[in-house]
Structure 1
């Protein structure tokens, strides 16, 4: 699932997430902190929330085993986003690179003296967004940060990081919640939804509970219902590609491409393994089976190649005509069943 992965931070009222309790206890009770941490794991499991709690602890003037006090000058300034000794570095645009000049500004901050006389703390997310020059510019600060500076790097895909970046950090895998734990947490966050709706949200978010919460915030269940109904009508020839393309124009383009990429993958897997237990969300299972039986592997692979190529253009913010792109996508979807 791809959805504004540059930042999965959401407003959480209950502090440390339940599945982070053991890790938080370990971090909060350290007498001496590393100069750089790499917090890694899938998107949507709360790494940003954990990093922000750790930043607050490190900048607090009277911390205890539970975390920051919340009432000292440092905590008050941080809550107001005016603390002079914290620095957050992210891509300037979603899905864009962190550039070398951004890292050079960060290095300038690291070399300064802490204005409140305590620590300086840097939060960088996602670390894999740094291009090669930016990553190399950060190496010296990671190895020997000036003064009492702690760098908190967040990564959703640590395999994309330079080995020299990873080797200079204490690498900390962030815990993943179990499905039932995620559902229990979502029940507390979204009590007005039915258990079935929460189940569907979590499935659409690839079992990442914070991603599910964010998807709910943009009305993903209504979008999903509209799209699933549309693709079924298209296969039944009850709607045309041009009609659907116009109707879907307001929907997030990346979300649509992610769903079609997932469906193409599920159809291909069903063709190869015939496993009816791995057909994705319930709303498309019959369609996946039908297309797996009626579509040639060659046609499906060509469709998958087209999807991935155009998804990359969408990611790169190419100047595309949305309606024409969606119409092309739907024409190919409608032509899947039948001979090559």
Structure 2
């Protein structure tokens, strides 16, 4: 059975309670809020032969086959390897499934996640099935970055926004999910996860607080000329590249905010407040804007799975960061 999250109650009633279902849904929103679980829950309900209200019964033949991963009218499309693209050949196999007759005489349900992982050829191959799916087929597309999708993909789906849960609800859920963490640690994890509770749990499992501490200490040593950009870049080899760029992008934004407002409470987590305040006072808005533009451009390359030299990229980032406290 798919996980059920308390912040999805209204979404679930809205989607599962439809008298007639659309042929394609696009569930979009930030990563780490349970969109995949919501899609799987809806998938089970749509395939169930004797649903109990809005929920799948869990005991009919269809539910048992789905639980065993052998339902003939269910198809899940995702990258063959983590963080890789969904290829056109994979989509062609999906299209072949869509045009077949349902073997159990009911619906066919397709789940694609993340849909933005499709390359341009794969996305174009999917368009025909989205426009005219065969028989009683429902396609559930899950996207963490819907802005990266072709407009033609978005326009062929009923778009369902999945917003972040409120902080209080997220922290209440995290108290159960991460009972060994203190209340302050859970707040920090949720902040690092940009408010996504499931992402906070994942970050805790990855040791993100320890990684963050190492990066913060390294940045301080860099600014004090106690460690070189090259040494730091090599020492951060185990830290995800996207995570590093997210942090530096966030820090540049916080510097700009402080330069405009002089509000110390808006400097983010405690670990970098003094550093960011110092940089805000020692550099110009123009320099911060320039490095932020550069960080955002490189971050897009990382998201696009570009073939990058990790150490050289980080070294370039750190050299620019070290140059911030210069002449105003």
> Does the pair score TM above 0.5?
yes
Give, in angstroms, the shift of residue 185 of structure 1.
Answer: 0.7
Task: Say how many residue pairs are matched.
Answer: 328
1:266 matched to 2:254: yes
**Corresponding residue number in structure 2 for 1:276:** 264
TM-score when scaled to structure 1?
0.87
Q: Choose which of 197, 210, 222 in structure 2 pairs with 1:234.
A: 222
TM-score when scaled to structure 2?
0.90
Give, in angstroms, the shift of residue 253 of structure 1.
Answer: 1.7
**Corresponding residue number in structure 2 for 1:82:** 70
Q: Choose which of 75, 80, 105 in structure 2 pairs with 1:117.
A: 105
CA deviations 1:112-152 (Å, max 9, x no partner) are: 11122221100112333444443343233223311221111
1:110–1:14 Cα change, 3 Å: closer
Give, in angstroms, the shift of residue 163 of structure 1.
Answer: 4.0
CA deviations 1:33-78 (Å, max 9, x no partner) are: 2221121222221111100111111122221115112222222222
**Corresponding residue number in structure 1 for 2:115:** 127
Task: Decide whether the 8 Å contact of 1:19 with 1:175 is kept in 2.
Answer: no
Alignment RMSD: 2.4
- Tell me, in whole angstroms, the C-alpha distance in 1 between the residues paired with 2:313 and 2:63: 49
**Corresponding residue number in structure 2 for 1:101:** 89
Mean Cα deviation higher: 222-231 or 134-143:
134-143
Task: Decide whether the 8 Å contact of 1:122 with 1:151 is kept in 2.
Answer: yes
Q: Choose which of 33, 50, 54 in structure 1 pairs with 2:21.
A: 33
Q: Choose which of 193, 204, 214 in structure 1 pairs with 2:181.
A: 193
Structure 1 SS opposite 2:264: coil
Stretches of structure 1 that go unaligned for 5 or more consecutive residues are 1-12
Matches within 5 A, 1:49-68: 49-68=37-56
- Tell me, in whole angstroms, the C-alpha distance in 2 between the residues paired with 1:296 and 1:213: 37
**Corresponding residue number in structure 2 for 1:205:** 193
Give, in angstroms, the shift of residue 104 of structure 1.
Answer: 2.2
Matches within 5 A, 1:127-206: 127-206=115-194
- Tell me, in whole angstroms, the C-alpha distance in 2 between the residues paired with 1:92 and 1:255: 23
Structure 2 SS opposite 1:277: helix
Q: Choose which of 207, 214, 222 in structure 1 pairs with 2:210.
A: 222
Matches within 5 A, 1:234-313: 234-313=222-301
Higher relative contact order (CA 8 A, sep 6+): 1
CA deviations 1:167-220 (Å, max 9, x no partner) are: 332222224311000000111111111000100000001101111111112111
CA deviations 1:75-114 (Å, max 9, x no partner) are: 2222222222111122345555434333222111100111
1:315–1:21 Cα change, 3 Å: closer
- Tell me, in whole angstroms, the C-alpha distance in 2 between the residues paired with 1:216 and 1:154: 24
